[in-house]
């Protein structure tokens, strides 16, 4: 039987709400381990413990490895470890701790022991001395020479003494950090298929926010370059971080045709962004979310100058979160590689027909200029029609796999309007 120890950090700051955060973390851990032979998940003395019953399995390592891979995607876990459980007695800890250490080879080592309670009849220092000495003895018997190095050890024997048990392990595995899913409410993320909004989604999910995704799509430039399959693949990769996701696919061609027909060319992208924001807010109200998330990064492209972000964001009636505002592109790409979305976002796709893109986009616009440029558009009708034409998909993470339910395709007037038609108010 292996015991997984899951430590949290930030929940410590939560004062009277701590119980709520811990119950959400426990729920997320149970959800993530679904389908594995878990005997119990319990909160005990400021950590979560999960017992994995690997006795009936031919390859227990595969199961613990799978459990760890899944837990690394659970927000709220600062670090985790696969531990052996012993009775909380000094002689047992010393003998069996030394055996565990000697399973791997090393030159330098350290022992780090923690007691969570003071009513244990020995001190952490006793473990440091006696276990350290026993490790040296056993190594000598095996013909190895090892020595203590408290600053940069090759290997560390961690001992955590709880009331009922001693837990011993040699590796601390970094977790995702952040806060448990469902502790911060919901937001709607504008997910383009590109690198940035995907990384923005990941950063916000780590803070305990549940995201609903919205993707706007137009006609592809080349056959096979539709953008919805990219958004769908990305949501599959992102869903394990929150357990369950909704993706709204919203057709955008007609909005673009209206903007092209009725507004100045150089402002097109900014007007598309304003309309996306408004439609996303409509979805936010529909899903009881508290705002929107975008992948904007200051000055990365022309639409992301401070002036243009002010001019576009001027129509927002809910908070817009831009978690990448201060990130460099390289940092964003590194994160995309780490979370496994880089390859997907690198695939060719077009979410906006190039014909509808301006030759030279405006770099510094204003709220007033965009308001004036929109005056010929019937914004409420455009927003309503796009909202009504949405398609919803639900992604569920169960037993380590993501399953999708697709709603019936809505064939609204909007989606079926002939290409080039200018929708009248």
Helix (H) or strand (E) holding 238: helix 228-238
How near is the Cβ of 197 to ligand ATP at its closest, in Å?
Answer: 3
How near is the Cβ of 303 to Mg ion at its closest, in Å?
Answer: 9
End-to-end CA distance of the chain: 67
How near is the Cβ of 105 to ligand ATP at its closest, in Å?
Answer: 46
Is 197 or 257 the residue whose CB approaches Mg ion more closely?
Answer: 197
User: Which two structure tokens, joined as six digits, stand for 267?
Assistant: 């402002």
Q: Which of 261, 301, 363, 421 touches ligand ATP (CB under 6 A)?
A: 301
Instruction: Report which of 46, 68, 54, 21 is spatially closest to residue 169, judged by C-alpha positions.
Output: 68
Query: Using CB distances below 5 to 8 A depending on partner kind, what does residue 88 bind out of Mg ion, ligand ATP, none?
Result: none
**What's the gap between Cα 422 and its chain centre?**
40
In contact, 158 and 92? CB cutoff 8 Å: no
d(CA 105, CA 361): 61
d(CA 395, CA 245): 5
Q: Which of 226, 254, 296, 415 touches ligand ATP (CB under 6 A)?
A: 296
Is residue 192 near Mg ion by the rule CB under 5 A? yes
Is residue 387 near ligand ATP by the rule CB under 6 A? no
Is 109 or 217 the residue whose CB approaches ligand ATP more closely?
Answer: 217
Is 192 or 245 the residue whose CB approaches Mg ion more closely?
Answer: 192
Cα torsion 132, 134, 136, 139: sign: negative
Is 60 or 358 the residue whose CB approaches Mg ion more closely?
Answer: 358
How near is the Cβ of 211 to ligand ATP at its closest, in Å?
Answer: 12
Per the listing, tokens 């993320």 go with 189
In contact, 242 and 206? CB cutoff 8 Å: no
Instruction: Report which of 290, 268, 270 is spatially closest to residue 280, judged by C-alpha positions.
Output: 290
How near is the Cβ of 189 to ligand ATP at its closest, in Å?
Answer: 7
Binding residues among 164-193 for ligand ATP as defined by CB under 6 A: 190-192
Region near ligand ATP per CB under 6 A, out of 112-120, 157-165, 175-183, 292-300: 292-300
Is residue 295 near ligand ATP by the rule CB under 6 A? yes
Query: Using CB distances below 5 to 8 A depending on partner kind, what does residue 303 bind out of ligand ATP, Mg ion, none?
Result: ligand ATP
Phi, psi of 300 (to 5 degrees): -70, -45
Is residue 303 near ligand ATP by the rule CB under 6 A? yes
In contact, 229 and 326? CB cutoff 8 Å: no
- C-beta atoms surrounding 406 within 10 Å: 12
Is residue 365 near Mg ion by the rule CB under 5 A? no
The footprint of Mg ion on this chain (CB under 5 A) covers a number of residues equal to 2
Is residue 335 near ligand ATP by the rule CB under 6 A? no
Binding site for ligand ATP (CB under 6 A): 190-192, 194-197, 214-216, 276, 294-296, 300-301, 303, 351
């Amino acid at each position: 039987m292996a015991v997984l120890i899951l430590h949290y950090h930030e929940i410590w700051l939560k004062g009277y709400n701590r119980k709520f955060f811990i119950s959400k973390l426990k729920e997320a851990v149970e959800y993530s381990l679904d389908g594995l032979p878990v005997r119990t998940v319990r909160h005990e003395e400021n950590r979560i413990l999960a017992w994995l019953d690997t006795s009936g399995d031919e390859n227990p390592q595969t199961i613990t490895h799978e459990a760890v891979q899944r837990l690394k995607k659970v927000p709220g876990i600062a670090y985790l470890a696969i531990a052996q459980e012993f009775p909380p007695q000094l002689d047992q800890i010393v003998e069996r701790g030394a055996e565990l250490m000697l399973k791997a080879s090393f030159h330098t080592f350290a022992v780090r022991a923690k007691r969570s309670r003071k009513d244990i009849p020995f001190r952490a220092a006793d473990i440091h001395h006696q276990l350290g000495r026993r490790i040296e003895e056993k190594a000598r018997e095996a013909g190895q020479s090892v020595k203590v190095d408290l600053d940069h050890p090759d290997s560390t024997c961690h001992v955590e003494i709880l009331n009922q048990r001693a837990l011993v392990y040699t590796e601390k595995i970094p977790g995702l950090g952040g806060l448990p899913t469902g502790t911060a409410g919901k937001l709607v993320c504008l997910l383009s298929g590109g690198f940035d909004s995907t990384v923005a989604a990941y950063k916000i999910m780590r803070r305990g926010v549940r995201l609903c995704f919205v993707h706007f799509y137009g006609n592809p430039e080349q056959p096979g370059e539709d953008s919805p399959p990219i958004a769908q693949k990305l949501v599959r990769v992102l869903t394990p971080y929150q357990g369950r996701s909704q993706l709204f696919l919203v057709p955008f061609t007609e909005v673009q045709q209206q903007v092209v027909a009725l507004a100045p060319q150089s402002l097109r992208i900014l007007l598309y962004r304003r309309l996306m924001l408004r439609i996303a807010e409509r979805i936010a109200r529909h899903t009881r979310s508290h705002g929107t998330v975008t992948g904007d990064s200051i000055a990365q492209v022309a639409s992301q100058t401070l002036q243009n972000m002010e001019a576009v964001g001027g129509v927002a009636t809910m908070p817009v979160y831009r978690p990448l505002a201060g990130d460099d592109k390289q940092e964003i790409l590194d994160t995309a590689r780490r979370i496994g979305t880089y390859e997907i976002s690198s695939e060719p796709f077009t979410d906006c027909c190039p014909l509808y893109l301006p030759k030279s986009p405006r770099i510094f616009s204003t709220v007033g200029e965009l308001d004036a440029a929109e005056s010929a558009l019937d914004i409420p009708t455009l927003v309503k029609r796009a909202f009504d034409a949405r398609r919803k998909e639900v992604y569920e993470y169960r037993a380590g796999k993501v399953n999708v339910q697709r709603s019936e395709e809505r064939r609204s007037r909007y989606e079926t309007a002939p290409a080039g038609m200018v929708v009248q108010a």
